[in-house]
């Protein structure tokens, strides 16, 4: 079945630095990828929709200059958290769809801790 | 996007059948109903999807009445490992680019 790999699974960074999270579709081409963040005991919150070769569409309230999304190929999308602060600490999850299968396939998530 | 409403939490015992109902009154004609399972610190995992009537796979059944304004996920004979959060979503099948909005989900706790 469809597999989405997310890397790293966890990362600790210092406040003020940037962190890049990768999301790869391993066995299918993902025309669209989605990025979510999830705080403890809460549901997933959609941050942005990423289409291959075009600019990401951000949800209201999500700072596009802080959360840089690149979808340069049909199998890779990246989320860069720039100038990270402790309040950016969260669980970040990507998902991918091709338009041909049931549902969407999710990555395993990245736990970001900013200290 | 159709909003979904689910119970916040449910408790069950091992071996019991668990039914989680989701309301989606504003579901559109082209929308499908999809259920996901999420364990702590993991991404959601697809469980089942349906459009109407009944769908069954190796892990669950999905019951959808004729008006499609609700759906019920049925987990037969749950075990401790089924303790997780279950999300009901409605989205348009086949586009791949239709964004998926998660509701609050149902936290299922299975006891021994």
CA distance A55 to chain B (A): 14
Q: Which residues of chain A neighbour B104 with C-beta distances below 8 Å?
A: 43
Interface test mutation site (partner A, options B43, B57, B58, B103, max chain A beta carbons within 10 A): B43
A69 has a chain B CB within 8 A of its CB: no
- pLDDT for the residue numbered A92: 98
Q: What is the DSSP letter of B5?
A: B
Q: Is 90 exceeded by the pLDDT of residue B93? A: no
In sequence order, what DSSP letters do the residues of B45-96 get, joined into one string? EEEEEESSEEEE-SS-EEEE-TT-SEEEEEESS--GGG-EEEEEEEEETT-S
Q: How far apart are CA A82 and CA A61, in angstroms?
A: 16
- pLDDT for the residue numbered B37: 97
What percent of chain A has a predicted confidence (pLDDT) above 90? 74
Compute the residue count for chain A.
115
Encode pLDDT of A20-55 as tens digits: 999 999 988 888 899 999 999 999 999 998 888 888
Phi and psi at B81, nearest 5°, equal -70, -5
Q: Is 60 exceeded by the pLDDT of residue B95? A: no
Kindly state the average pLDDT of the residues B13-30. 94
Closest residue in B to A112 (Cα) is B41
Q: What is the mean pLDDT of chain A?
A: 92
């Amino acid at each position: 079945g469809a597999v989405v790999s997310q890397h790293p699974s966890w990362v600790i960074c210092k406040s003020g630095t940037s962190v890049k999270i990768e999301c790869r579709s391993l066995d299918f081409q993902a025309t669209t990828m989605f990025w979510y963040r999830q705080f403890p005991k809460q549901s997933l919150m959609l941050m942005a929709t990423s289409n291959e070769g075009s600019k990401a569409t951000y949800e209201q309230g999500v700072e596009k200059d802080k959360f840089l999304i690149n979808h340069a190929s049909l199998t890779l999308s990246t989320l860069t958290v720039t100038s990270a602060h402790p309040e950016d600490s969260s669980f970040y999850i990507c998902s991918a769809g091709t338009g041909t299968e049931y549902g969407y396939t999710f990555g395993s998530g990245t736990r970001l801790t900013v200290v | 996007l159709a909003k979904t409403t689910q119970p916040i939490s449910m408790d069950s015992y091992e071996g019991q059948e668990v039914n989680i109902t989701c309301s989606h009154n504003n579901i559109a004609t082209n929308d499908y109903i999809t259920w996901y399972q999420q364990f702590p610190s993991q991404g959601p995992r697809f469980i089942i999807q349906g459009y109407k009537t009944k769908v069954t796979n190796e892990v669950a059944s999905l019951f959808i009445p004729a008006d499609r304004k609700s759906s019920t996920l049925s987990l037969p004979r749950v075990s401790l490992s089924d303790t997780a959060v279950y999300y009901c979503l409605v989205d348009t099948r086949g586009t791949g680019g239709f964004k998926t909005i998660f509701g609050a989900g149902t936290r299922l706790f299975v006891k021994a």
